[in-house]
Amino acid sequence: MAIDPSDGGKVVRCRAPAKINLYLHVLGRRSDGYHNIDSLIVFAGVSDQVSVSRSQRLGLRLAGPFAHDMETMDWANNLVVVAARALSEVCGESPSVALSLQKNLPVAAGLGGGSSDAAATLRALAELWTLDISDEQLRAVAEGLGADVPACLAQNPVAVSGRGEIITQAPELPAAWLVLANPGIPLVTAEVFRWFSPTGSQAAPLKEAPKDLGAMVEALARRSNDLEQPAITLVPQIAEVIEMLSKSEGCMLARMSGSGATCFGIFSDEASADAAAESIGNEQDTWWVSSVQMLRPGLAQ
């Protein structure tokens, strides 16, 4: 988070890092229409950025390489705007703020971009308004915005259960690099769930810290992303992305994140990840590809 008062008005900037589901078990449908899940979530060193400042009225400015994918959406329904209104109602502040969203992450991509943007907005506005608000109160606001927003508020590795609202700190994870690859096809979460068939998955939270990256990968290999198959049914290119990542030198595990279509490969070092990302990007120049560090406590943006 950064504060810039140089223009005479306080501007708070907050990064909204990409969310990665290292595994995702879908346990069953709930009476409220959501599904119970079991997932291990981490964050990556690539992000959107939210900026907030006081204004005469509520407004949103979009910028960045993926801003054009959001221009046809009703700005009032953007989660950044919804988050600002929700927090203002709780704390009694006027929602008259200028919001700016630098959209660096692909939209509808399984990276929790909208949820991370909303969480960043809550953190930024809490600073702008100098709110005396507890983490629990802020999390309660986050829960009302969407299933992934509470996890994105944490910004550290977390175990997630319930519909996403039950957040516990994950065991300490080893350092890792990720190659993220998206074939450029948006995939709506609700549509993926419509094609989902129960797999009989059970909750399998990671209870102990892996001794090293190899042990973490072994543990992840015993788990899965239950949404991968229905997502591939809708976007067959996802299978190609996973295959290319898997065949990259140094890739220890390749899997889809969230509801897709972004997939990730796990690497032990920056050089191997950079080389894989460059090779995939050269071969598939219409894909979005990024080599990033997996964020750990102390590395959060």
- State the catalytic residues: 19, 148
Q: CB-based burial of residue 71 (10 Å sphere; 0-12 exposed, 13-18 middle, 19+ buried)?
A: exposed
CA-CA distance, 267 to 170, in Å (whole number)? 20
Give the residue among 84, 140, 114, 85 at the shortest CA–CA distance from 19: 114
144's CB contacts (< 8 A; 6+ apart) are 86
Q: Judging by beta carbons within 10 Å of its beta carbon (0-12, 13-18, 19+), is residue 301 exposed, middle or buried?
A: middle
For residue 89, the tally of other CB atoms under 10 A from its CB is 11
Distance, CA of 89 to CA of 68 (rounded, Å): 30
CA 120 to each of CA 162, 176, 298: distance values in angstroms, whole numbers, following the listed order: 22, 24, 17
Residue of 276, 275, 272, 256 whose CA lies nearest to 264: 256
- CA 110, CA 152: separation in Å to the nearest integer? 13
Asked if residues 37 and 27 have their Cβ atoms less than 8 Å apart, the reply is yes
The 3-class secondary structure across 23-66, one letter per residue, is: EEEEEEECCCCCEEEEEEEEEEEEEEEEEEEECCCCEEEEECCC
Strand, helix or coil for residue 243: helix
- Copy the structure tokens of residue 17: 């890092």
